[in-house]
Amino acid sequence: MLIDRFFNRGREFLGCRYPIMCGAMTWVSDPKLVSAVGMAGGFGLLAGGNAPVEVLKKQIIETRELSANPFGVNIITLAPAYQNHLNLVCEMKCETVVFAGGIPKKNEMQQVKECGAKIICFASTAPLAHNLIERGVDALILEGSEAGGHIGPVALSVLIQQILFQVEDVPIFIAGGIATGRMMAHLLMMGAAGIQMGTRFVMAEECVAHPKFKEVFKRAKAKDALATPSFDSRLPVIPVRSLRKDGTIEFSKLQLELLHKLDHNLIDREQALHAVERFWVGALRNSVIDGDVTKGSLMAGQSVGLVNEIKPLNNIIDEMVDEAESELQRLKGILDEKPV
């Protein structure tokens, strides 16, 4: 297969058959989904989120029991339990650690490296990408603003030109708005080591998300996945892309309430940021687990407009690979044509 030559770098780095990563989605990326991705040949990421450290420990153990395939653990630098999560992934000798939510400190990255783990970080801007490489990151995920959940400020098309075309030091995986094998083929030809998807994996049969949650995804259009606003630099919340429902309106109200408290010194900035994270964790649970798709959070990337069918996870990954191979063969045919 032509696709194999483009898979080699990501395959070697991740240790899986296909360098197709399942993004770490709070309440969604549980041991069942992560292990299923691994068994299908991809690479799953457990979502540390704001989970109590004992819960995350149980999830790591459970994922290892369900499958011997490699997987990673995503930990959020802004989470209240971050330091405990950091210590845990080192104690449990996790093979791959993904830092999200902020830039990890040099000593934190060194702590992970000393435990033998590979480090992946998100790069939402070119300066951040180069900063992380200088700090010793092993791989980067370029995530465009088309993605779901917490997003960066730059579109994927620009990040590709600023970073993917300029950086050869480390493997680069691409995320944000990806849902087809044809798109994956072109990203691999551009130099990507692999891709990461989240929204499409929500539509896997193995995904724990409530049927009502998935049904909303089936009906949604790309334009329905909107980024939340930020009102004041004193509360530098990371924008969240989700389907607009009552939950997104409530988030705007929460920001205004927190700014009022900051004005009157009722809370400090760190407390305000933690309140924001607690809101999203709770709102997301309401929709994903309980099926409250009106008041809960419906985090989704703009690729939600490309997914309209619930399928077994094996079928999703096989379809991605088959489509990518077909696209490469199509392009090879064009390039092999003799000029008239």
pLDDT tens figures, 273-306: 778 877 877 888 889 999 999 888 899 999 999 9
Q: Is residue 157 part of a domain?
A: yes
Do 182 and 252 lie in one domain? The reply is no
Between 30-44, 103-117, 221-235, 287-301, the lowest mean confidence (pLDDT) is in: 221-235
Count Cβ atoms within 10 A of the Cβ of residue 229 and give its class: 0-12 exposed, 13-18 middle, 19 or more buried.
exposed
DSSP string, 46-64: EE-TT--HHHHHHHHHHHH
Do 45 and 70 lie in one domain? The reply is yes
- Paired with 96 in beta bridges are 72, 118
Q: Is residue 19 part of a domain?
A: yes
Contacts of 221 (CB under 8 A, 6+ apart): 304, 305
Position 206 pLDDT exceeds 70? yes
Do 164 and 196 lie in one domain? The reply is yes
Q: Is residue 295 part of a domain?
A: no
Do 149 and 105 lie in one domain? The reply is yes
Do 133 and 251 lie in one domain? The reply is no
When pLDDT is averaged across residues 147-161 and rounded to a whole number, the result is 93
Q: Is residue 24 part of a domain?
A: yes
Q: Is residue 266 part of a domain?
A: yes
The DSSP letter of residue 116 is T
Q: What pLDDT is stored for residue 287 in this prediction?
A: 92
Percentage of the chain exceeding pLDDT 70: 99
Q: Is residue 280 part of a domain?
A: yes
Q: What pLDDT is stored for residue 107 in this prediction?
A: 94
Q: Is residue 214 part of a domain?
A: no
Q: What pLDDT is stored for residue 297 in this prediction?
A: 87
pLDDT band at residue 229 using 50, 70 and 90 as cut-offs: confident
Q: Measured between alpha carbons, how far is 307 from 164 in angstroms, rounded to an integer?
A: 26
Do 276 and 315 lie in one domain? The reply is no
pLDDT band at residue 340 using 50, 70 and 90 as cut-offs: low
The values of phi and psi at residue 174, to 5°, are: -115, 135
Averaged pLDDT score across all residues of the chain: 93
Q: What pLDDT is stored for residue 302 in this prediction?
A: 97
Do 269 and 160 lie in one domain? The reply is no
Do 132 and 58 lie in one domain? The reply is yes
Between 16-20, 226-230, 309-313, the lowest mean confidence (pLDDT) is in: 226-230
- Residue ranges making up the domain that contains 112: 3-209+306-336
130 or 282: whose pLDDT is higher?
A: 130
Structurally, the chain folds into a number of domains equal to 2
Do 21 and 112 lie in one domain? The reply is yes
Could you tell me how far CA 4 lies from the centroid of its own chain? Answer: 24
Do 131 and 195 lie in one domain? The reply is yes
Do 231 and 153 lie in one domain? The reply is no
